[in-house]
Amino acid sequence: MRVAAIALLVLLIPVQGALAGRPPVPKAAAWIVEAPGHGGLLLAHGADSKREIASLTKLMTAHLALRYVPLGTVAVTGPDAVAVGESSVPLALGETQTARSLLAALIVHSANDAAVVLAHATMDQPAAQAAAIKAARKLHRRLPADPVARFVLLMNAEARALGMRDTVYRTPHGLDEPGAHSSAHDVLTLARLDMASPFFRALARRKAVSIPGHPDLPTSNTLLAAYPGLDGVKTGHTDEAGWNLAASAERGASVAYNQVLSGLEDAQLRFLASAIEGDESQHFIVLAALVLGLAAPGPNLGDATAAKVVPEPFVVTVDGKSGLDVGPPDYFA
């Protein structure tokens, strides 16, 4: 799996040579990095702290829609979807789209209106209705009359079932809402599941998608165009949540390792990680492991060193004691 984040106790040398001085400590509030098959969990900081995650919420919306809604299902756009605002297709009142098209707009374009229509489409499915009823009974709560509220109930029930103890959802789209929060660790859990779906994974790497009546909807994840090997997962941003990212990459590594990293030369390495509330000038420390294209086995990375030349526009210095600096700052326009 994938996504990158944080100080890997490694020095990355840019084309111009090693950067002088100690780079600043990463400014993201929380991050976690995993390299499945190459050391597992590598690094984490504040990974269980509860924070708003904006459109990373849509990872759960997609997860449930893919479970319950046949891809050929035709859904009708209602007034609540038209009114949601912000990032949208936009869908017109009464417009019909298949679940396949709505998921494409959700995953690639981060469309809020598609999230609402998918919530309705999911709750039209008998199996989803039964799951929501069961969840309400377990919580000793009355089943909400509103289908979107039922869907949110189902989102939270699924989060508990997956062990996502830091997560509470309030909407299917992730716009700012009091009480909504998750953690880098929980986002990683869900991103891992979503990327295991061939349908989701194929969309998560797309730079644009077209659905009937709406050609060339661009991805919200502009890192896909900037970094070869990146294959997902999802971005999220609101004023309250800040900049957030779940990322995934697969890349060959051919670098000089010391004994701690021996045996990993020329390996195809995968990364899965999430960073929550990064500062705009360092957009997602997640970039570090993605650019490095390497991992180290086990939690004790203190002796790990490596050097690699990377092409522009990446200028990254990493070392586990002082942190990392990522530039340029405009990956997510």
Which CA distances in Å does 168 have to 15, 81, 156, 227? Answer: 43, 21, 6, 32
pLDDT score of 214 more than 80 = yes
Mean pLDDT of all residues in 63-70: 98
> Are 45 and 89 in a shared domain?
no
DSSP assignments along 21-85, one per residue: SPPPPP--SEEEEEETTTTEEEEEESTT--B--GGGGHHHHHHHHHHHS-TT-EEE--HHHHHS-
pLDDT score of 323 more than 80 = no
Q: What is the pLDDT of residue 55?
A: 95
Q: What is the pLDDT of residue 228?
A: 62
Mean pLDDT of the chain: 73
Q: What is the pLDDT of residue 107?
A: 97
Q: What is the pLDDT of residue 249?
A: 73
> Are 251 and 320 in a shared domain?
yes
Mean pLDDT of all residues in 318-329: 34
pLDDT score of 99 more than 90 = yes
Mean pLDDT of all residues in 305-330: 32
The beta strand positions in the chain, using DSSP E, are 13-14, 30-35, 40-45, 74-76, 96-98, 208-211, 214-218, 230-238, 242-252, 256-257, 268-278, 306-307, 309-310, 317-319, 323-325
Tally of domains in the chain = 2
Q: What is the pLDDT of residue 142?
A: 95
Mean pLDDT of all residues in 27-48: 70
pLDDT score of 194 more than 60 = yes
- Model's pTM, two decimal places? 0.78
pLDDT score of 330 more than 60 = no
pLDDT score of 245 more than 60 = yes
> Are 170 and 225 in a shared domain?
no
- Judge whether 212 lies within some domain: no
Rounded distance between C-alpha atoms, residue 18 and residue 31, angstroms:
25
**Domain range for residue 246?**
13-51+217-325
Q: What is the pLDDT of residue 320?
A: 34
> Are 260 and 171 in a shared domain?
no
Least confident of 73-87, 167-181, 296-310: 296-310
Final residue of a domain: which of 124, 157, 175? 175
- Judge whether 186 lies within some domain: no
> Are 44 and 110 in a shared domain?
no
- Judge whether 203 lies within some domain: no
Per-range mean pLDDT, top range of 28-37, 177-186, 235-244: 177-186
Least confident of 4-13, 41-50, 165-174, 229-238: 4-13
Q: Which residues contact 44 (CB under 8 A, 6 or more apart)?
A: 6, 31, 32, 33, 184, 185
